[in-house]
Chains A and B, each alone.
Chain A
């Protein structure tokens, strides 16, 4: 397996109440392509911050991370977000005055990746695949349930035809049954679509289904043993 994402000596800290808090300290790690990763760690360990950095939403104090061997800063963070990765948030982060279908189309329109000409049809098909039928697809996302919105968010992530998908506590707001469905979808993305999925979670149930579990501890990432 080849390395898709490589972190090299990433440092990140912030000032909180006058005190400097170090989140990442010379953090280095390699994520392989086509795997389902979960990142675990205690609350406040910096999981979401780490995800923000590797998803190009924030910049580290120092250090470099590479996508397929290319320095992401050189790719350009905006281009990286548009063409290389997609992210699924705990809060879904959909545009509320657009329908489910239009939210998916938004991602498809912005990316420079090759997208089939029949964008509308593909967007409907993606939503259908995640259980959002045509009538729900044409509803404003604010009219959908939490689980449905998260499915729309996943469909949007796939819409831009990227190989790397991040998810930040994607099941945090969902009931157990829906949580299982969403995790199955992520699992399916790696197994059947060859995507690399990196999920930040505090849920053991979720992490158990992943291929590899990574722990963020003392500002460092390390692979967890199967018995941990």
Chain B
């Protein structure tokens, strides 16, 4: 009996000691990701640490489940609630299943935001999108126009004709065409996000339009297939392939010159901005429609009616930074 009592006393003492230590003024912000060991999220953590360094009084808790399951994330969130962290910034495995757990967190006074992959409106104070459809639409046209010194034909190689994301981006891209007089959009074709079909569609574009200067593929499968088709046709230098791609997959194309530059969101910026927003809301900034919440070097996030905000233009990758990012994601 006395041994047990001794053990409990020790435990209680240790509890008291550690508890006093934890009472410092630092804000503890938990960055909860879909699963640990994913390059994209490791990079986001780097950004979060950068923000913490800049703010000074912030401790980042980088955590997440082993598999990308909602159940695993709920276990993680429960343990964060138990620790009484100040804020939780989550990239959700499931927009709905996390809502009850996150509601409980908010009930206990914890600031909750989602980033990258959102949570339904009831389960968070705000959501940070990496970018917006308008910004993406503008960026993909700009990437093509930047490397054209004379007017020329440009074609779009998309995913499927029913892909909601791609269709919205292309629609937005068409709106900004008047701002880029050199870009003469001649066709939109669909590779169905299949490597071989995208490759054949790209070949078709190269043969049909002799004056083709650029192929824009707002899909990671399409941009890879198109750059391969341009390389195989010996058109490197004549036709520039651009759009949205992953640095790890596109490193070869950028090196060979088939792709001069392409874009996708930058996970480091995303982790940085999410941390800044969580910090500012935990410190009293109101997350409500129309509010503008500062996010450090990324400017400020303007919330829409759903309390969602877009971070920035997609980040441009070219020869100068592809080496750094290709090992990240």
| Chain B associates with chain A | no
Question: Which residues of A approach B to under 8 Å, CB–CB?
Answer: none
Question: Which residues of B approach A to under 8 Å, CB–CB?
Answer: none
